[in-house]
Amino acid sequence: MDKSSPIASLLEWLDASPTPVHVVQTSVNQLMVSGFIEQIDFSSDLLLKGFYRKDGAIIAWSLGDNGAPLRIIGAHTDSPNLRVQPQPDISRMGWNQLGIEIYGGVLLNSWLDRDLGIAGRVFSSDGEEVFFHHSQPIARVPQLAIHLDREIGERGLQLDKFQHTSPVWGTQAPMFLDWLTQETGVQRIASFDAHLFDVTPASVLGVDGSLLASGRLDNQLSCWAAVEALCTTDSQYTTVVILNDHEEVGSESVTGAAGPMLENLLALISHRDGLRPGQLMDRQRQSWCLSADNAHAVHPNYLERHDPRHSPLPNHGVALKLNGNQRYATSPRGAAHMRGVADSMNVPLQTFVSRNNMPCGSTIGPITSTRLGIEAIDIGVPQLSMHSAREMCGVKDATDLVTLMQGFLRS
């Protein structure tokens, strides 16, 4: 593959970003290449092109003229996974294992018999923070042999979340903290955040090369596209990208969409622009927020799980997500706006509605519009295997998402 192609940059992004803090670091690298500067001190003036990072979340902006309406894109950095517990060492019958915590709605079966690496960060007792990313296979959750589980064919795989999920990581393994000390060079580790991940690199798939497989496509695909679009679009508007953590567990944290990061930035922008309350309301009305999070493509083996008239197909465009019960934020006005954007950029747009008897998940869209009074539009690339350790989507839909976001930031 051409190393400078957008898909090559997406694959590289995914492999470099096994955890939310790594997603933030990957975003920072890309933003800095495009001239964005990190703002640390907010008592001075807001930078024209800046970003602010906190743990697994980042917000980046490019200011338009005073009072310019806002074009905001939001996505989330976290994905369901297995995380190492604070006191993880287990030794049983010659096997060394790690105690883990299940984060978010994991498809547990997909983590079995995979070669796993470990990544995250440590804090020393004097507050030093060091990231680590061990991409060699060092752990594995082994499945029980069929000979010891004869009924599996009839009753299906049943996993106890406590008993059956601990990975093996050696037969003469060091204590986990000793390994972390070695790995990071930090001598007095006071706490850590360590996530397991499949070490198989992201790859293009299919005899026709039309598909893409990787862990964490939900929702790093949207994070990648949002940063890509922000870095490549000149706009008359003030453009903002916010990548939040903790969406998979309800968004309620300092770095989640229900936290204050976006609201704080908008307050600073309004202050810079010297807007009175009425002008603020006018700007809210003229602004849009695009909430990007992957959608369900129609599954060819489970057609009955989809609404037949609203089933997104692979490589037929990004899906506009609608839900009258407000699980998605898209209003009729927002849908019309987005269809106009898609037309102007010459990319297709599909429509996703979940079946009445299959309630859909939610996104950061409704949370953001409720908090800010800015109308949000939910969209997402259709994918299969959502929340699996390895997910799949169409190559063309990924690049279409960037084009659509570029159009959104300008329209």
Least Cβ distance, residue 235 to Zn ion (angstroms): 26
> Which span (27-35, 123-131, 219-227, 402-410) binds Zn ion, by CB under 5 A?
219-227
Residue from 27, 184, 219, 330 touching Zn ion (CB under 5 A): that is 219
Q: Residue 64's closest CA among 265, 238, 310, 231?
A: 238
* Angstrom distance (rounded) from CA 355 to CA 303: 11
Tell me if 75 sits within 8 A of 222, measured CB to CB. yes
Q: Which one, 90 or 241, has the nearer CB to Zn ion?
A: 241
Least Cβ distance, residue 378 to Zn ion (angstroms): 11
Query: From the centroid of its chain, how far is CA 333?
Result: 26
Show the binding pattern over residues 173-212: x = contacts Zn ion (CB under 5 A), - = does not: ----------------------------------------
From the number of C-beta atoms within 10 Å of its C-beta (0-12, 13-18, 19+), residue 40 rates as exposed
The interface with Zn ion within residues 26-65 (CB under 5 A) comprises none
Least Cβ distance, residue 305 to Zn ion (angstroms): 18
Least Cβ distance, residue 381 to Zn ion (angstroms): 11
The β-bridge relationship of strands 382-384 and 295-296 is parallel
Distances in whole angstroms, Cα of residue 13 to Cα of each of 34, 160, 197, 388: 16, 33, 15, 19
Least Cβ distance, residue 404 to Zn ion (angstroms): 17
Indicate the DSSP class of residue 166: P
The interface with Zn ion within residues 267-326 (CB under 5 A) comprises 293
Least Cβ distance, residue 401 to Zn ion (angstroms): 14
* DSSP calls for 48-102: SEEEEEETTEEEEEE--STT--EEEEEEE----EEEEEEEEEEEETTEEEEEEEE
Q: Which one, 64 or 380, has the nearer CB to Zn ion?
A: 380
Give the containing element (helix H, strand E) for 306.
none
Total residues at the site for Zn ion (CB under 5 A)?
3
| 87-105: burial string, b at 16+ Cβ within 10 Å, e else | ebbbeeeeebbbbbeebee
Q: Which one, 205 or 360, has the nearer CB to Zn ion?
A: 360
Q: Residue 39's closest CA among 279, 246, 272, 286?
A: 272
The interface with Zn ion within residues 64-93 (CB under 5 A) comprises none
* Angstrom distance (rounded) from CA 299 to CA 338: 25
Least Cβ distance, residue 102 to Zn ion (angstroms): 17
Residue from 218, 273, 378, 397 touching Zn ion (CB under 5 A): that is 218
Q: Residue 197's closest CA among 124, 91, 103?
A: 103
Q: Which one, 219 or 238, has the nearer CB to Zn ion?
A: 219
Q: Which one, 81 or 219, has the nearer CB to Zn ion?
A: 219
Distances in whole angstroms, Cα of residue 141 to Cα of each of 110, 121, 160: 10, 22, 13
Q: Which one, 134 or 321, has the nearer CB to Zn ion?
A: 321
Least Cβ distance, residue 219 to Zn ion (angstroms): 4
Under the binding rule (CB under 5 A), the answer on residue 245 touching Zn ion is no
Place of tokens 């706006």: 337
Least Cβ distance, residue 58 to Zn ion (angstroms): 17
Q: Which one, 10 or 266, has the nearer CB to Zn ion?
A: 10
Q: Which one, 62 or 219, has the nearer CB to Zn ion?
A: 219
Q: Which one, 314 or 365, has the nearer CB to Zn ion?
A: 365
Q: Which residues bind Zn ion (CB under 5 A)?
A: 218-219, 293
